[in-house]
Amino acid sequence: MEQKTNSFLETEPVSRLMRKYAVPCIISLLVAALYNIVDQIFIANASYLGSYGNAANTVVFPLTVIALAIAVMIGDGACAYVSILLGQGRKEDASGTVGNAVLLTVASGLLLTVLYLVFREPILAMFGGTVNAETLHHSREYFFYITLGLPFYMFGQAMNPVIRSDGSPRFAMVSTVAGAVFNIIFDPIFIFGFKWGMMGAAVATVLGQVLTAVMAVWYVCHMKAVSLGRRDFALRGDLVRRFIPLGVTSFLSQISLVAAMAAINNMIRKYGALDPAFGQEELAQIPMAVVGIVMKFFQIVISISVGMAAGCIPVAGYNIGAGRRDRARELFILLLKLEALVGFAALLIVEIFPKQLISLFGAGNESIYYTEFAIRSFRIYLCMMVLATVNKGTFIYLQALGKALASTLISLFRELVFGVGFAILLPRFFGLDGVLYSMPVSDFLTFLITIYVVRATLHELSAEKVQ
């Protein structure tokens, strides 16, 4: 067996390791989330776009999440498996895993781009783009340019966790921040200066993603813990079958958002048409725009939650590979405490300052119905944030322990069975507000399952150190 690398993961205090790995991971995910959010803020404050542009952004957003879901499935799965392999001293298999992750990411990015371009119209209709003619026009424009950048976006996002597993969380953070800063600088230039509208927002985003992808390519060619050769880029079914399942939970946590958004957007379109105010043609896009904004804030909080848990993957995976269950248990307890703290802080913000949050997205230029519905949406939709962050952290951490099946099943219940099911069911009884109730009900029921899983996992990790 080859000599282990990254052995400090087995010796340094877990709190220090968590800060080292989780903070850059949180920043990376926050910055990635800000790509779309920054677009939406500038779009909302452009008088010639307003809530129509906001609604178009909401329509296209789930389509970028599909790309992200595939990317993080490959990247997080590879990150977890590489960390375990390095903990076992199997550097050759670790190199092959990275090479296969690169190959799968490039192939899936190109394939998804082609599929999007071919099926543009039915895709936009599926996610509510036909709510009115103006929204559809902006959706088509934004969709086209965002789609062209998908291969670069997916490569940067997939390689980010792989870079962390190589012991360079700071570089992973810097590469993502560099792209986001580029986007923030050029968004107002293209939207307000050049008057490029939705195209300007999309082009700024894509150019930032290209920058992140280029930096990721450079790092992959200069990795530290593994050394890549031509043979590592040959597809190996034995490795793919091991690391892809470890990323399925990350995939479900993202793709479920897509399924929920599809259900929510269509329920909003259906029951909004029955609302006395939003049934009017000129106001029909408001509920979709508002719920999209609320989901963006939720994405910011969940980025912190997932970032903390994903940052623990290299540490927990290495220690599980090295037989140090005691350290994995200590790290899990610390993670759960911090997840609850983040959720509580977010809850205070949405309950106390909903009007200030919505004002960031151009509420001053919109109808009074816009602001009223937005405040109600923030307070209802996100009222179970504490449970949501604990649930999400548990899902991700189970991957690091190699518990792909348990992690996947719980995620499946939360995101698809509960999330989509209640989004479709509750509006039948509560109308448009039923869409808002679907989120807290899903998080509460999932938490009941999470409690059982957490207790069983901590009991298992209490066993004596094993080799």
The yes-or-no verdict on residue 2 having pLDDT over 70 is no
- Give the pLDDT of residue 366: 66
The yes-or-no verdict on residue 439 having pLDDT over 50 is yes
Average per-residue pLDDT for the chain: 87
Work out the pLDDT band at 145, boundaries 50, 70, 90. very high
Reference 78, options 406, 409, 412, 399; nearest CA is 399
- Domain-by-domain residue ranges, the chain? 13-461
Q: Is the pTM of this model over 0.85?
A: no
Distance CA 335, CA 319 (A): 16
Cα→Cα distances 156→175, 327, 330, 403, 443, Å? 8, 31, 31, 26, 30
Query: What separation, in Å, do the N-terminal and C-terminal C-alpha atoms of the chain show?
Result: 14
Greater confidence (41 vs 217) lies with 217
- Give the pLDDT of residue 279: 84
- Give the pLDDT of residue 465: 47
Distance CA 456, CA 131 (A): 47
Helices (H) and strands (E) in the chain, counts: 19, 0
Greater confidence (174 vs 11) lies with 174
The yes-or-no verdict on residue 436 having pLDDT over 80 is yes
Q: How much is the average pLDDT of 262-266?
A: 84
How would you write 1-48 as a 3-class SS string? CCCCCCHHHHCCCHHHHHHHHHHHHHHHHHHHHHHHHHHHHHHHCCCC
Per-residue model confidence as pLDDT tens digits over 373-387: 999 999 999 999 999
Per-residue model confidence as pLDDT tens digits over 235-253: 999 999 999 988 887 787 6
The yes-or-no verdict on residue 152 having pLDDT over 80 is yes
